[in-house]
Amino acid sequence: MSTMTKSDRIQIRVDEFAKNKIERAARVSHKSVSEFVISNAIAAADKLLKDHDQVALSSRDWELFYAAILNPPKPNKALRAAFKRYKSQQGK
């Protein structure tokens, strides 16, 4: 967790059913509602971001990727032209 002070606020509206369920879960976990909501929201955000940021390849795709890294193809005409445009835009 951060050592920063708690100055930011997130406001949410929930129906009575959700509120009661969250309050009960907070009590069962021996946390305040805020602590419960924050810890679970952070855990959900961590999982979602990990899943979003992580790329999983099949064995075949990994082998193709690895082979391309070890033995990259020579630049074709389009790539050479793109690099030339890039260099001219950078003033080099």
| pLDDT digits 0-9 by tens, 17-56 | 999 999 999 999 999 999 999 999 999 999 999 999 988 8
Those residues with Cβ within 8 angstroms of residue 29's Cβ, 6 or more apart along the chain or in another chain: 36
Structural tokens at position 74: 């020579």
In this prediction, residue 58 carries a pLDDT of: 94
Those residues with Cβ within 8 angstroms of residue 31's Cβ, 6 or more apart along the chain or in another chain: 39
In this prediction, residue 91 carries a pLDDT of: 73
3-class SS at 11?
A: coil
| pLDDT digits 0-9 by tens, 46-71 | 999 999 998 889 999 999 999 999 99
pLDDT at 1 over 60: no
Residue with tokens 């924050």: 38
pLDDT at 2 over 70: no
- Residue 38 CB: number of other CB atoms within 10 A? 15
